[in-house]
Amino acid sequence: MKRVFALVLAALLLVPAALATSVGTGIGVTMETEDFKPLIWLCDARKVKDDNVQTGRVSDGGEKLVERINNYAFEGEKIKWKVLVMDKNGIEKISDVFVTIGSVQGEGNDIEANCVLDHVLVKDEEIKKKCNARIGEEELEYAPEDNIMAYYTCTLTVEPADSMYGEYWVTAEVEDLDGLSSTFDENEYWFFNPVIALSIDGTVDFGVVRPGTTAYSDTLLVGNDADAGSGVMLDMFITGTDFYDPYSSGAKCPTTNQLSLKNFAYYAVNGAYSTAQDPRSDAEGYVGITYGDHWDPTLYDVAEILQVQQVGPYYTANILAPGAEMALTFRLNLPEPCNGDFSDGQIYFWGEAI
């Protein structure tokens, strides 16, 4: 037994050199993480808000500007968007989200306002349906991972005309730390701070009028002379004052040296409508003129040139598009007795952008 044990031990001592040897090798891994171009989508909460300067017929300061139907905005008015952004490299890779304006669509226009982060989405958080978030044909209903998507609120306030006048493409843009950027698809086209003006073609001239008779003026045209292409719609109004003889002539009409505005009336035509359809008109289709020498909201529903075809709070027959005109003829019922040349007074036309 001792001999056998010794031989086995000797054999074991001869083997370890082969058993202790191992051989290994490896290969490298080639891989590059995509610099994902961030994406941005316009969501449902888009609003245009009134300024805090002048109260409108419907909207007060800071409220939704429901009467604005064309693409123009004035100093102090706001355009507000809710947007969703995504970066598969991580939301912390987003460097900025902002509103731009420029002469062409797409990235790289002038930055006018920064957007505010609302909140970062977590995995499986439901995405607002109206964001229409898609990557190619894939519609995203839930956030696929934590910290790759976030909601922002973007608000552009229209600046004064010396820095913001004319027509611009407007959109929200997202940019990442690598300089990659995107805009949402629904670019908007706005005319900021258009010039508002009225045109008057003609005069109110009654010629020589015999006391106790009625006279009619030539027809004049009152038009919307706002910037071409601005789309500014004007709600039209008319007011006036009494009239006086500017000379020391012993005027009297009929009891004092004053010709009352109540002796004047007008007939107006705009397209298919006229004052003959206006409930304020008399048997001839003429409407009296409201007293006033300045604009204020008390003129609503009182001093419109045409109160015809009412839709909501507005009379559509009373609204002028850029370049459009109304025709007005004036009537004077001159009292008897009357003496004097009553030329010192005014009839005013007002146009409010809606």
In order along its 354 residues, the chain shows pLDDT tens digits of 344 444 444 444 444 555 556 788 888 888 777 789 999 999 977 899 998 887 788 888 888 888 898 999 999 999 999 999 999 999 999 999 999 999 999 999 999 999 999 999 999 999 999 999 999 888 999 999 999 999 999 999 999 999 999 999 999 999 999 999 999 999 999 999 999 999 999 999 999 999 999 999 999 999 999 999 999 999 999 999 999 999 878 899 999 999 999 999 999 999 999 999 999 999 999 999 999 999 989 999 999 999 999 999 999 999 999 999 999 999 999 999 999 999 999 999 999 999
Q: How far apart are CA 32 and CA 145, in angstroms?
A: 20
DSSP code, position 219 = P
CA 228 to chain centre: 17
**Beta carbons of 241 and 293 less than 8 angstroms apart:** yes
User: What are the tokens at 265?
Assistant: 């009336």
139 to each of 41, 46, 84, 86, 186, how far by Cα in Å?
12, 21, 14, 13, 17
Q: What is the pLDDT of residue 58?
A: 86
Q: At residue 78, what is the residue type?
A: K
Per DSSP, the residues of 230-264 read S---EEEEEEE--BB-SS-S--BSSSSS-B-GGGE
Q: How many CA atoms lie within 13 A of 120 on its CB side?
A: 12
Torsion angle defined by CA atoms of residues 260, 262, 268 and 273, in that order, rounded to the nearest 10 degrees: 170
| Non-local CB neighbours of 117 within 8 Å, separated by 6+ positions | 97, 150, 151, 152
pLDDT of residue 16: 53
Residue indicated by tokens 């300067």: 53
Asked if 223 and 337 touch (Cβ cutoff 8 Å), the reply is no
Is the N-terminal amide bond of 144 cis, ω within 30° of 0? no
| pLDDT for res 125 | 96
| Residue 27, pLDDT score | 87
User: Around 121, how many Cα atoms within 13 Å sit in the side-chain half-sphere?
Assistant: 24
- Residue ranges and CATH numbers for the domains of the chain are 39-192 (2.60.40), 198-353 (no CATH)
Q: What is the pLDDT of residue 22?
A: 76
Predicted model pTM: 0.83
Please give the pLDDT value at position 17.
52
